[in-house]
Structure 1
């Protein structure tokens, strides 16, 4: 007896698709399990190196920490560590200084880095050499570059003081006054980290579609209009990544003030990270020190999440 398939082409395709879907789902689940298996060693390492210390610091910040001769003990839950911080004028000052320092230095670095990237984009033959030279400050360890700038700013044998004496400005103690010390530290930071921003922006410029820029020029837009109306909006992803990395680094500022100024004069250039170090290791106050570290990480997380939300909203409006 011959069985005749009376289904039409559409019904046949639907039945074949339904039979293939379970197989595809099983293959996806198998690939996902294989991927998690390969990634598990790296994830365990990240947990051991990053997640566990962060979690332990948060637990320590909410605990009564008793320091003994053999170490320290966590005894009970408390919010007193954070109460001490929020009622401390020194913590508030360091928070304000770190926030202002981050905003100013990141803004200057973004402007200078974008300008340098625009110049590098127009170069052809010497771009590789200039990029290599540009990355030298970024390649230096921050402690080394901070020590280099301390020699430059030295009031006895420093290059900066010699230049100021040559132009008629004498006895300029750069690191001896709060405002000048903060500016000097910002200059050293901008010198080191602007190349990173320039490379990030240059990568975004290289990836821009040339047809869009060419269409804007055909429509009569000049160079400034093309950059401001066409290229800059397309550069938002690269700029967002650069800003996020710089916020993370600048808000965790430690090396420069530790080597260059020691947080001085007084506590005028003391960052939150440096304050946490002093409270933890100089004053041996593990609870408040952990609270400083946890609050700093929380502030950076909130700022980055808000920045990402605003960035996604702008990109969504641009696509609409």
Structure 2
């Protein structure tokens, strides 16, 4: 159910795919599919959008998740209830949450329009322009996935060695200095895990733009995953569609390797120092 589709997609991306009345046939070995997508402006736009969207949302989620985790760590009572409430957006299926946000953003009967329209004097359609649609989609994504980051960071905070923090207090360090010089460096492995998971999920973004914006307006919020789906299942270009999926997986893999290499080198330098 998992390995065969992945392998078959890779094989298809390097094959000539002929669509017939009985399905499609694979023949030959070629890199033409990758040449087609590399020369397409639409693929480059989808790649740029996916990269910018991934970097922006992951940074926002890590910052907000860390702040929420710090607040939860200081709670003496009710932490369990707060964590349960915090996990509700994360536990919600993305298709459902995207549809809920579509109602919020609707320019006719949406909640946000009802609040803003009297102030600006006209209906507010956030999904009608490329910039506002991208920001609206990012807000929906951050709302859903920040709790995931917060729980991971909270687990890291709880596991920090108390003796090191207490030693810093004895040496006269204040709370701000302890966070930046002691706690944050010790949290790097935890933050690295959170970033890795979120980059993998954000780079494969599909369901949120598919439901919320449809990749629009135009192709302004079209991610690589949405583009691959359209090319393969709407345009019936199975070879280029499989090439988009394969190239996306390769880019994510290379990015993860580079991230881990940089992270390990930083940890090694700190341990040597």
TM-score, length-scaled by structure 1: 0.84
Higher RCO structure, 1 or 2 (CA under 8 Å, sep 6+): 2
Q: Provide, for residues 263-284 of structure 1, a one-character-per-residue CA deviation record: whole Å limited to 9, x for no partner.
A: 0000000000000000011000
Larger Rg over CA atoms:
1
**Match status 1:74 vs 2:11:** no
Distance 1:111 1:155 in 2: 30
Ranges of 4+ aligned residues in structure 1 off by more than 6 Å: none
Residue 36 of structure 1 is matched in structure 2 by none
RMSD: 0.9
Unmatched segments (≥5 aa) in structure 1: 1-48
State the Cα deviation string for residues 155-208 of structure 1 (Å, max 9, x = none): 111000011124335222100000000000000000000000000000000000
Of 204, 218, 226, the match for 1:252: 204
The corresponding residue for 1:14 is: none
Distance 1:96 1:168 in 2: 33
1:69 Cα offset (Å): 1.9
Q: How does 1:134-145 map to 2 (within 5 A)?
A: 134-145=86-97
Match of 2:222 in 1: 270
Question: Structure 1 217/166 Cα, relative in aligned 2: closer, same or farther at 3 Å?
Answer: farther
- Higher mean alpha-carbon deviation, 141-150 vs 162-171, is at 162-171
Residues 40-119 of structure 1 correspond to what in structure 2 (within 5 A)?
49-119=1-71
Query: 1: CA distance between counterparts of 2:74 and 2:169?
Result: 16
Hey, what does 1:195 align to over in structure 2? 147
TM-score (norm 2): 0.98
Note the C-alpha offset of 1:73.
1.1
What's the CA shift string for 1:101-144, capped at 9, x where partnerless? 00000000000000000000000211100000000000000000
CA distance in 1, matches of 2:7, 2:65: 36
Q: Which runs of 5+ in 2 are unaligned?
A: none
**Partner of residue 240, structure 2:** 288
Output aligned runs, 1:223-262, within 5 Å.
Answer: 223-262=175-214
Q: State how far apart, in whole Å, the 2-side matches of 1:292 and 1:154 are.
A: 32
Across the two proteins, how many residue pairs are aligned to each other?
272
